[in-house]
Amino acid sequence: MPIPAPNLYPPFNILRLSHVEYRVTDLARARAFWVDTLGLQVTAEEPGRLYLRAMEERGHHCVTLVEAAEPSVGVLGFKVFDEGELDKAAAWFARQGLPVEWVESPFITRAFRTRDPFGIPLEFYARMERLAPIHQKYALYRGVKPLRIDHFNMFASDVDASVAFYNQIGFRVTEYTEDAESGRCWAAWMHRKGGVHDVAFTNGRGPRLHHTAFWVPTPLNIIDLLDLMATTGYVANIERGPGRHGISNAFFLYIRDPDGHRIEIYCSDYQTVDPDLEPIRWDLKDPQRQTLWGAPAPRSWFEEGSVFEGAELVASALTAQPIVAP
């Protein structure tokens, strides 16, 4: 059993994943995709930068699109419980010998940036500007009707090491894939906010961002998005699905933005609030872990991902041929 016991008394209290900064090469083209097609709402615009939120979010943004020469991921953001927890977090990262830099992050009171030991750029904060609710402004809903950002999924060159690190800071494993032969963990799903995951790690050349997921109300919204993308010039941006993951039980669709950033549209996972929730183990050889219904994923889905700004890529410790669970 490669999964560490959950750390129920972590050094600081992370509430949930919060936001991601994507570097895109053509902001107008990205906007047509993220706003007009997916249906995220623009909350602020600056030259070269767009802030977006989903329909039930009151925090100022869950996605920032920044125009850049090359596509990449700038940072992954997490919200902690309060300013005291934020200071504890900064102190903890410093104690690990990881970089801690207090930054001006727009619309955020106080934030610091650091990197996990594998190079993933992280931003922590306690308070972001709050916006009025729009979840009942039904005239604004469009596209896939995204309700909220749900999780980050990352390629990790050593999943056991990533799980051990994120377990230390309080993320709890809900499901994982184990290679029965080596006893190594091939993929893991870990949560803070009481769903199946805030972060997941998947064996492969890393660190890279495999995808960011958005939660939608029902499978029919995903079908609506497929019909819309298929008839508005985005058919090649549909990568995988719709389908049901064995792991997490999610009804999923994977799409790619115009720069290749992968997005999961997602519904129907389950509540995990209990600290005594037993992780569900899947065997690497069980094909239903990836797709309950049995349809294979395309090769691109296993191999491609978004690089993190400033992170050095390392080959997987486990295999030259990445085998990835969703």
Closer residue to a copy of itself, CB minimum distance, 182 or 232: 232
Residues 6+ apart with CB under 8 A from 186: 159, 176, 177, 178, 179, 202, 203, 284, 318, 323, 324, 325
As measured in angstroms, the least distance from the Cβ of 139 to a copy of itself is 5
Which residues in 167-276 belong to E strands, given as ranges?
A: 172-179, 184-191, 199-203, 208-215, 238-244, 251-256, 262-267
Residue span binding a copy of itself (CB under 8 A) among the ranges 154-162, 180-188, 233-241, 307-315: 233-241
Closer residue to a copy of itself, CB minimum distance, 32 or 314: 32
Residue span binding a copy of itself (CB under 8 A) among the ranges 19-27, 90-98, 176-184, 245-253: 245-253
Site for a copy of itself contains 274 (CB under 8 A): yes
Helix (H, G, I), strand (E, B) or coil at 215: strand
Site for a copy of itself contains 273 (CB under 8 A): yes
As measured in angstroms, the least distance from the Cβ of 124 to a copy of itself is 15
Of 185, 159, 151, the residue nearest 262 (C-alpha): 151
Closer residue to a copy of itself, CB minimum distance, 23 or 151: 151
Site for a copy of itself contains 5 (CB under 8 A): no
* C-alpha distances in Å from residue 3, one per residue of 8, 33, 174, 216: 14, 38, 10, 30
Residue span binding a copy of itself (CB under 8 A) among the ranges 90-98, 112-120, 131-139, 151-159: 131-139
Of 48, 99, 183, 294, which lies in the binding site for a copy of itself, with binding defined by CB under 8 A? 294
Whole-number Å distance between alpha carbons of 14 and 258: 32
Site for a copy of itself contains 1 (CB under 8 A): no
As measured in angstroms, the least distance from the Cβ of 144 to a copy of itself is 12
Helical H runs in the chain? Answer: 27-31, 83-95, 159-168, 219-230, 299-303
Site for a copy of itself contains 193 (CB under 8 A): yes
- The upper half-sphere exposure of residue 298, i.e. CA atoms within 13 Å in the direction of its Cβ, equals 13
Whole-number Å distance between alpha carbons of 253 and 81: 31
Site for a copy of itself contains 161 (CB under 8 A): no
Rg of the chain taking only CA atoms, in angstroms? 18
Site for a copy of itself contains 58 (CB under 8 A): yes
Residue span binding a copy of itself (CB under 8 A) among the ranges 65-73, 163-171, 213-221, 310-318: 213-221
Q: Cα dihedral angle (167, 171, 173, 176), rounded to 10 degrees? A: -80
Residues 6+ apart with CB under 8 A from 308: 72, 73, 119, 120, 121, 207, 208, 209
Site for a copy of itself contains 47 (CB under 8 A): no
Site for a copy of itself contains 59 (CB under 8 A): yes
Site for a copy of itself contains 220 (CB under 8 A): yes
Whole-number Å distance between alpha carbons of 111 and 125: 5
* CA max distance for the chain: 54
Site for a copy of itself contains 232 (CB under 8 A): yes
As measured in angstroms, the least distance from the Cβ of 128 to a copy of itself is 9
Enumerate binding residues for a copy of itself (CB under 8 A). Answer: 8, 15-16, 56, 58-59, 79, 81-82, 127, 130, 133, 135-139, 147-148, 193-194, 217-220, 223-224, 226-232, 235-236, 238, 242, 244, 246, 249, 251, 268, 270-271, 273-278, 280, 288, 292-295
